[in-house]
Amino acid sequence: MLAHIRRHQRWLWGVIATLTIISFVYFLDPSTISAGEYEQMKQEARLEHLFSSGRWPEEAEAGQQFFNLDVQVPRRLFFAEKLNDLKIQVSDEIVADWIAHAFRRSGSFQVEFYQQFLKTTLPRGRVSESEFRTFVRHQAGLEQLFSLAGLSGSLVTPREAEAVCREENEQLSTEAVLFSASNYLASVQVTPAALAAFYTNHLSEYRIPDRVQVSYVKFEITNYLAEADQALAQITNLTQQLERFYQQRGADFYKDADGKAMPHDAAMQKIKEEQRRAFAMTSARKKATEFMEQLYDLYQKQPNQSDNLDKLAAATGYPSGITEPFTQRDGPKDLKVLDTFTQVAFALTPEQPMPSDPLPGEDGVYVITLKKRIPSEAPPLEVVREKATAEFRQHEATEAARKAGEAFYGMLTNGLAQNKSFEVVCLEANVISHKLPPFSLSTHSLPQEWEGRVDVSLLKDLAFALTPGKTSRFEMTRDGRLGMIVHLLSRQPVDEAKLKAELPAVTTGLREERRREAINDWYRREFELAHFTGGPLQKKAGSR
């Protein structure tokens, strides 16, 4: 659910994340901050982490490692103060719009997902609905604040854009010597001792994380569509209500498969189908709640029985199921569920084997109970022998490719110092030099015959640092599967027709990049003007 934040919010999270790593802390005068203000900003910082990562900061080891309230809370306070200083007002309509877009799925707002967030996710994080709405108001205000801060970056002259366009489309002709790890796989010898040592040294990579297994009954939406149709048929002014809903969201809200605004009639039909499924989801949730109440009574009579759900399902005629064990990262693979399903499942314990509410999914509502917890374990080598063998062979092949590349680079350096050409050194070393297709900074991939053989990112890094006739250092890709040495033959300016065609897109991209830079510059400048120093929540004397 939280992964489906609206597109234009994603860049905001990116900007905020970038600003977070700036190596200074904002400090405030404790006499000007109430306990309530501090608590609100602490909750907002935690919510920000939730929406950007999908988990509360205390629920993941990485979150605990990188989430620092001493930095996050003052930063949120700083933003709130700037919103007040600039008198940026956020209306209730903008708050509602933010929520509607944040809880979209399949192109539309899903009220059930939002309600589940309010009933399950917020309580689990010890955040009230009021605190959440204040956070939303501040986030929407930040979008306006950053839009204002980035206005100066939108000013890009035609000459600047043309210069960038020429640079990005300059064509380079090169030849390269490639050292692919795959060429050395066949020569790798896998001995029992070497494989055992490799497995022991990489044991953490093979460790299986904690898993859970749950029993469930699914109340499918499709079983309640007929009931939804009857409910819709009883609404005498249904067309007027749907039209009002359409007008509130605007003609551009509903898009077709090509991203274009739907015709009015098609949009109205989509709204009606949304309402139909919402009615069906409500009915499914009602039945699930009734079933859950019976299940709760059964647990009161028969505690510590892991098959209570299965027994009740059989007695009431509902089909039940048991998931395969799943991790907190991956979730159950056989069900169309939301992130909250996995989070709730991992919160269950033998003492509290069922959640307080049914869990909505993409196509139904689930009632679950804990079946089994499986703690993290390190499998014996025999269990992962096939995987460990493949990774050992890859590791050894990578090392062989690296040694071969470094050895040739040494020969190349000596040969060039003796005024030998790149081609002559390649012939003497008995290595093949490949003539590559022309490429530019804007190239994302080479022709199909080169796909998988050349890493374009590494190729550009090496080639664009050269002048014609010069040769690069030896370097391998991050995954170690390929190493290369590049020799630059020539640079060709962009064709004028291509320049004309590419210029609009380059101008748009350059404006967005400059806008982000302007936002970062504004942020740093505002902190410098505030003159904040000293310990946490302490403000330099004399500063405002």
Tokens 């509607």 sit on residue:
100
Report the alpha-carbon distance of residue 109 to residue 102 in Å, rounded: 8
Give residue 199's pLDDT: 96
Calculate helix-pair angle for 496-530, 69-85, nearest 10 degrees.
100
Is residue 375 within 8 A of residue 167, CB to CB? The reply is no
Per-residue pLDDT of the chain (544 residues; tens, 9 = 90+): 443 333 344 444 444 444 433 333 334 444 456 777 888 888 998 998 888 877 788 765 544 555 777 778 888 887 888 888 888 888 888 888 888 888 877 667 878 888 888 888 898 888 999 899 999 999 888 888 877 767 766 677 788 888 888 888 899 999 999 999 999 999 999 999 999 999 999 999 999 999 999 999 999 999 999 999 998 899 888 888 888 878 877 777 777 877 788 898 998 898 888 889 888 988 999 999 999 999 999 999 988 888 999 999 999 999 999 999 999 888 998 898 888 899 899 999 999 999 989 998 888 999 999 999 999 999 999 999 999 999 999 999 999 999 999 999 999 999 999 999 999 999 999 999 999 999 999 898 999 889 888 999 999 999 999 999 999 999 999 888 999 999 999 999 988 888 888 888 888 888 877 777 777 777 677 766 665 443 333 333 333 3
Report the alpha-carbon distance of residue 156 to residue 167 in Å, rounded: 16
Tokens coding 311: 């027994």
Give residue 527's pLDDT: 66
Report the alpha-carbon distance of residue 133 to residue 490 in Å, rounded: 58
Give residue 60's pLDDT: 57
Tokens coding 529: 């003007």
Report the alpha-carbon distance of residue 529 to residue 544 in Å, rounded: 10
Q: Is 250 left (phi over 0), alpha (psi -120 to 50) or beta?
A: left
Report the alpha-carbon distance of residue 278 to residue 231 in Å, rounded: 11
Tokens coding 483: 């190493």
Query: Length of the chain, please?
Result: 544
* pTM of the model as a whole: 0.57
Give residue 9's pLDDT: 46
- Write the CA distances from 15 to 20, 151, 444, integer angstroms: 9, 15, 25
Give residue 23's pLDDT: 31
Report the alpha-carbon distance of residue 6 to residue 152 in Å, rounded: 25
Give residue 538's pLDDT: 38
Please, how many CA atoms are within 13 Å of residue 102, restricted to the half-sphere of its CB? Answer: 26
Tokens coding 152: 């100066």
Give residue 154's pLDDT: 67
Q: What is the separation of C-alpha 172 from the centre of its chain, rounded to a whole number of angstroms?
A: 34
CA-based nearest residue to 374, from 214, 518, 490: 214
Backbone angles phi, psi at 11, to 5 degrees: -65, -30
Cα(first)–Cα(last) distance of the chain, in Å? 41
Residue 345 class from Cβ within 10 Å (0-12 exposed, 13-18 middle, 19+ buried)?
buried
3-state secondary structure of 211: strand
